[in-house]
Amino acid sequence: MTQRLFRISHFLLATVLALAGLSAQAQAQAKPDYPLGAGDAIRVQVFQNPDLTIETRVSENGSITYPLIGAVDLGGISIAAAEKKIADALQKGGFIQKPQVNIVLTQIRGNQVAVLGQVNRPGRFPLETANTRLSDMLANAGGATQGGDDVVVVSGVRNGQPFRKQIDIPSLFLSEKIQNDIVLQGGDSIYVHRAPVFYIYGEAQRPGSFRIERNMTVMQALAQGGGPTARGSEKRLRLHRKTTDGSIQQIEPQLTDPVLSDDVIYVKESIF
């Protein structure tokens, strides 16, 4: 009996300590300078106005709906700044003379980043440190797939404003410009589009579609297709290219001409 009571007491003590640890972690993360993000659950209170107490979640566009003042954009700003923003709106609207607003972060969901598109492990990943960079998150997602583009698009909210930036993936690792390897924030999205492709058909050894490598020329594209067959000729090529108005332009390309996205190369038969 004594041993059983000891086990129960030990279990209760461990539970209390675990809950205390979680509470301490939440309080540590809920600092006044914590930037609110999409998915964060918050409790908003106004001193001596219990009817204005609400529990809500920051929406995907970074806003909440608050009584009397409507939609309020809080995404990307600190808890302290969010408290001031709501207080100013209540005061300017003539609802409360000197409102004292307090925001409590009840659940952190904004400390995640969505990695989408042509990556090996798409999904949502937590920001494990305050200075997690783009290269770290791409590594978490297994990097871009073979069919993925060399450019990644990062979008989110910075200082309450929509943020979007295109970044060259190789530059993250080959360049010394660390500013390209931006620090991520909760609620950011990373998207890797499919790589641009070209098409080759006719008297080519391997007709089909192929990824366009950086600065690829017509000669390199022809090599991707295995070169011309015994009946074909590299001197008799025709290139179909879509123009800005949607029409198709037919070109007799030089082997040193660059290849653009969705170009179609036709290898003609040799005249001999």
Q: Say if residue 163's pLDDT is above 80.
A: yes
Largest Cα–Cα distance of the chain, in whole Å? 101
Q: Say if residue 14's pLDDT is above 60.
A: no
pTM, full prediction:
0.60
Give me the pLDDT at residue 31, please. 56
Over residues 66-91, the mean pLDDT reads 93
Give me the pLDDT at residue 208, please. 96
Over residues 18-34, the mean pLDDT reads 47
Q: Do domains 25-107 and 197-269 have the same CATH topology?
A: no
Over residues 191-212, the mean pLDDT reads 96
| Reported confidence tier of residue 17, pLDDT bands at 50, 70, 90 | very low
- Structure tokens of 101? 């607003």
Give me the CATH code for the 25-107 domain, please: 3.30.1950.10
Tell me what the pLDDT averaged over the chain comes to: 85
| Reported confidence tier of residue 34, pLDDT bands at 50, 70, 90 | confident
Q: Say if residue 8's pLDDT is above 50.
A: no
Domain boundary assignment for the chain: 25-107, 112-194, 197-269
Over residues 198-219, the mean pLDDT reads 95
pLDDT tens digit sequence for 104-124: 988 777 678 999 999 999 998
Give me the CATH code for the 112-194 domain, please: 3.10.560.10
Over residues 39-65, the mean pLDDT reads 91
pLDDT tens digit sequence for 233-253: 999 999 999 998 889 999 999
Over residues 162-185, the mean pLDDT reads 86
The CATH topology of domain 197-269 is Outer membrane lipoprotein wza fold like (3.10.560)
Q: Say if residue 7's pLDDT is above 50.
A: no
- Structure tokens of 28? 């540590």
Give me the pLDDT at residue 13, please. 43
| Reported confidence tier of residue 271, pLDDT bands at 50, 70, 90 | confident
| Reported confidence tier of residue 193, pLDDT bands at 50, 70, 90 | very high
User: Three-state SS string across the chain, please?
Assistant: CHHHHHHHHHHHHHHHHHHHHHHHHHHHHCCCCCECCCCCEEEEEECCCHHHCEEEECCCCCEEEECCCEEEECCCCEHHHHHHHHHHHHHHCCCCCCCCEEEEEEECCCCEEEEEECECCCEEEECCCCCCEHHHHHHHCCCECCCEEEEEEEEEEECCEEEEEEEEHHHHHHCCCHHHCCECCCCCEEEEEECCEEEEEECECCCEEEECCCCCEHHHHHHHCCCECCCEEEEEEEEEEECCCCCEEEECCCCCCECCCCCEEEEEECCC
Q: Say if residue 204's pLDDT is above 60.
A: yes
Give me the pLDDT at residue 29, please. 46
- Structure tokens of 217? 């020329």
For residue 23, report the phi and psi dihedrals to the nearest 5 degrees. -65, -45
